[in-house]
Structure 1
């Protein structure tokens, strides 16, 4: 245990935090100046974004954004306006009176992303809009405390990507100008960082400098769940943001507000140094079509685009439904008779249910189709072709093997069937009727949207897709996904080794809530990203979290947090 703790009156509970305080009479010891909380929350990029001005003169188009300008000539009904120095690109489709526009940001600490630009006429052949790239942030916190034997121990917290994630604590050693971080198991020095003792700064280099400086917990919103000086959390009706959600007090739709309040207080009370409890970023709940809870933690807010990781695989299934709603044929074979041996007979259903039979297993680092292998290799930038070249191990539909590359191939099928870039389909079909705000899709090296995971979206917008499916594909009276596809994609298709089952892009579980066993279907992703639909309760829940790479931690969201939320729904009268 740490030598000294202070009990912080955190709203809804008490968190235990080590602090730098020491008795005024205790003799100073080497490293005392390192004790306490350190932090940095830099905005790293991208550099270009904000107000955008688009103009057409004949066949020539120009764009001005962020003080930079580019122009290009239309090629058919499309225009590619690339800023100099690879600072970003505006993609246009010009067949409509108001052009369709997307902002493509280059890779930085994130993958390259594309985001929509909603243009408005500004007179003549001029349009205005806003380029809203996915922010590149790397908030980093470090708590250093002294153990009973005098050893300094350091714990990092990084809510954005959970770096370093799998090493709970380091031994910390200080020299005059550096701080060493030693792995406690191997004794190896893993990081040696410059230290300015006069200015009290520890500098890290992640391609850009991250400078840690002393922080109080009030100055570290990404470290603590909720600011400690706030009074205990009390349930509140979500704000109306004119984003398509009807809001309601939970009690008006048959939920126990006091119990919901206790659920949130439990999240607030999580010790930020805990390695066994999930570090939740948002909890958003809808029942009977109304938004009843909308709470955010660890520095996140309602407008933040959260990395959905593999939860966005389900968006590929939903996009397939959009294509079907528009009349596309997607129920046949994924590949024609001329394709390689082992591909004939493979369908969209096999791709979405991880049952293609190809050598593609994300849970096996040695698998040739492993997602990390695909994304790190440079020999084949076309990831559709990469997938197509994988050897066949079993017949399609015979075995389950979690395969991001296969779901990405399903996205390729949808794009081909609709003859549209996936972002255009998503923007045209869902963004308007559902009043979606900003979102981002990450891109493959070829510029195609990657459909295997990593989409960015706000929690409130993600929850809309759960409500869409509760409404059997209808949003506010507008049919967006065929009812038959809603039912088929959420039905059992294949069994998994953990006892659960998969549909087509949805994971299926049965959760126990008191004496009730309730069937759910979910989109879920690394770190604790969940969209969970409970048809029996007319309930949809979104959780986002930051426990990346810690499956045994974030699965407790499904096993403990979600049943606690479900238990707040009043059971039907006998």
Structure 2
């Protein structure tokens, strides 16, 4: 379903669009494509809003978005499913609250599903009431067009949600009558080609261009506050202001009080605001947060993102898998580093099982040393893309268990997202509790997190290899929790020993960059004026980093949109050591 935002409609109907004016008042003139164009398609899901559980006839009836269905009850457990797979709910009643999970429906464009927490509270009428906020499936494309002295149009595609522009490779455009062509070289190809052919509507000026199977209607984006720019087209000079105090467990302070040079940080934020938007590989920083001495002192957002928008953390979510395992251990779940993988997942080990699989343990999975034939940078059987794109085996645990071995576990480290996902499956088997409920009970609730989405596998279990969505403030909490030796507001969430082992530089992950790895945590050492500073962090594709530097009692968090582009490393390799660390006293 194509969707044009009200803003776009207003722009098209207003008299301020030169293109629209020329197409109506001067139909014979040659239109000029120069300028910024934007298109958005929204695919749902449409089930959202207030969820009410109403006592009726000795049972409960669920009411949401025009649907009314019966609630199944088994003791304190409640659940219901909407017709046609439009969504489902499961929860546990405790006093005047029902702690639940909303499992959103897939959309027309994606088979991806997420689980989000929903807390229902008893109101004055005796009904249970809460808000369902699913992850919105939408795609946005910006097309900034400039014209050279030779009259040719140069352009590129910016896609903030998935950075598809780096794969599509558009570099120029042509307008032949009402026919629009986007030309470029696709990633992995050498020959320039016509990548997309669309049409310009002579009445409205809209450019309708098919991109990867979906038609996008591009309209001129003349808004001063366009998210294409870090802070709009003509931003004011940046002046620091401290973060807002919220009821989310974050104490706040100021840069000056916590020993950070305000002028230096202002210069850096201004640098991000002034970042030229001249190509698909321009750094796309979506948020920057800094905490020192356990207090949030800086919170800035860019390109239309804000504190209430959960961000795709990609592989940085692996560190949340580590935290959940550690929290489960702390709560008494009998899972250990030496817990065997196949015995746990299968119940009994087949006599003909590869001996190398029999000896595989949880520690091998979370240290990335399990000997499976997988490597996320290639196309081996266990690689994440290979596993997620195949359709023969929807159970990704079973798929992983059947991947052949390539070497003895523990011999070397090879990054593969299938491994931590299997570790999450072990935890779920042993705890006998779904991961979304366990995550809410052991991490989210005590750490005041309610606005997040856990990426689900086709069979409904949370995916432990990445893709969860969290707000930047909650993402920062993960690293602050480990900086606090596993405590949040005085409560021991994970043990100090788990923190120490998880963040230790156990193996070299990248000899080129010097990046090391522990248990689903990355680490690196910075050189600051001859002083070695050890830092550990969850890291994810696109520029998702929440850097903890114990010697400075400092947490630095970035989210970004440079997915599948080498510039994603700029935050941790350039901005942190060159722009931020020198400002810390």
TM over 0.5, shorter chain: yes
Name the structure 2 match of 1:25.
Answer: none
Distance 2:213 2:101 in 1: 27
**Mapped partners of 2:114, 2:525: distance in 1:** 35
Q: Which moved more, 1:193-202 or 1:260-269?
A: 193-202
- 347-356 vs 307-316, which deviates more? 347-356
Give the conservation status (yes or no) of the 8 Å contact 1:473–1:486: yes
User: How many angstroms apart in 1 are the aligned matches of 2:506 and 2:128?
Assistant: 47
Once the two structures are TM-superposed, the CA of residue 54 in structure 1 deviates from its matched residue by: 1.2
Is structure 2 residue 371 aligned with structure 1 residue 361? no
**Secondary structure in structure 1 of the residue aligned to 2:429:** helix
Whole-Å Cα distance in 1 between the matches of residues 96 and 429 of structure 2?
25
Secondary structure of the residue aligned to 2:460 is coil
| Other-structure match for 1:5 | none
Tell me if the contact between 1:194 and 1:204 (Cα under 8 Å) persists in the aligned partners: yes
Residue 415 to residue 528, structure 1, CA distance change in 2 (3 Å): same
Aligned counterparts of 2:28 and 2:293: Cα–Cα separation in 1: 60
| Paired position in structure 2 for 1:562 | 576
Rounded Cα–Cα distance in structure 2 between residues aligned with 1:196 and 1:539: 54
* Matched ranges for 1:457-536 at <5 A: 457-498=470-511, 499-536=514-551
Identify the match of residue 333 of structure 1 among 334, 337, 340. 340
Q: Is the 8 A contact 1:537 1:569 kept in 2?
A: no
Work out whether residues 170 and 183 of structure 2, in 8 Å CA contact, stay in contact via their aligned partners in 1: no
Matched, 1:383 2:396: yes
Hey, what does 2:268 align to over in structure 1?
Answer: 263
Change (3 A) 1:400 1:158: same
Q: What is the DSSP-based 3-state SS (H/G/I as helix, E as strand, rest coil) of the residue aligned with 2:391?
A: coil
Aligned match of 1:412 in 418, 421, 425?
Answer: 425
1:161–1:526 Cα change, 3 Å = same
- Provide the C-alpha distance between the structure 2 equivalents of 1:183 and 1:207, rounded to a whole number of angstroms: 18
Deviates more, 1:403-412 or 1:173-182: 173-182
The worse-fitting range, judged by mean Cα deviation, of 275-284 and 293-302 is 275-284
Alignment pair present for 1:220 and 2:226: yes
State the shift of 1:228 in Å: 3.3
Q: Which residue of 2 is the match for residue 4 of structure 1?
A: none
Cα distance in structure 1, aligned partners of 2:489 and 2:93 = 29
Q: Which residue of 1 aligns with 2:302?
A: 297
Matches within 5 A, 1:34-433: 34-41=33-40, 43-57=42-56, 60-75=59-74, 77-94=76-93, 98-108=97-107, 109-110=109-110, 111-123=112-124, 126-183=127-184, 186-205=191-210, 209-216=215-222, 218-221=224-227, 223-331=228-336, 332-336=339-343, 338-339=349-350, 340-341=353-354, 342-365=356-379, 367-433=380-446
- For these two proteins, the number of residue pairs brought into alignment is 543
Q: Distance in 2 between matches of 1:130 and 1:413?
A: 32
Moved more, 43-52 or 435-444: 43-52
* Alignment partners' CA distance in 1, 2:209 and 2:86: 25
Deviates more, 1:51-60 or 1:552-561: 51-60
Cα–Cα, structure 1 residues 204 and 53, in superposed 2: closer, same or farther, change >3 Å? farther
Deviation, structure 1 residue 57: 4.2
Task: Give 5+ residue unaligned stretches, structure 1.
Answer: 1-18, 21-27
Structure 1 381/31 Cα, relative in aligned 2: closer, same or farther at 3 Å? Answer: farther
Contact between 1:31 and 1:174, CA under 8 Å: does it hold in 2?
Answer: no
Distance 1:569 1:188, change over 3 A: closer
SS in 2 for 1:251: coil
Q: CA deviation at 1:125?
A: 5.6
TM-score (norm 2): 0.88
SS of equivalent residue, structure 2 residue 156: strand
TM-align CA RMSD? 2.3
Q: Is the 8 A contact 2:169 2:184 kept in 1?
A: no
Question: Deviations along 1:306-335, whole A, 9 cap, x unmatched?
Answer: 000000011100101110111122222222
Q: Provide the rounded CA distance (Å) in 1 between the counterparts of 2:442 and 2:571.
A: 31
State the Cα distance separating 1:476 from its structure 2 match. 1.0
Q: Does 1:549 align with 2:564?
A: yes
Provide, for residues 142-194 of structure 1, a one-character-per-residue CA deviation record: whole Å limited to 9, x for no partner.
11111232221221111111122245542212233331112255232111123
Q: What secondary structure, in the 3-state scheme, does the structure 1 residue paired with 2:257 have?
A: helix
In 1, the alpha carbon distance for the partners of 2:279 and 2:182 equals 19
Give the Cα separation in 1 of the matches to 2:59 and 2:388. 36
Q: Shift of residue 563 of structure 1?
A: 1.4
Cα pair distance change 1:31/1:264, threshold 3 Å: farther
Aligned partners of 2:505 and 2:517 also within 8 Å: yes
> Is the contact made by 2:319 and 2:521 (CA closer than 8 Å) also made in structure 1?
yes
What SS class does the counterpart of residue 361 from structure 1 fall into?
coil
What SS class does the counterpart of residue 158 from structure 1 fall into? coil
Gaps of 5+ in 2: 1-17, 20-26
Offset from partner CA, 1:15-74 (integer Å, 9 cap, x none): xxxx99xxxxxxx99864211111134544221101110134477432111122222433
CA contact (8 A) 2:476 2:557 kept: yes
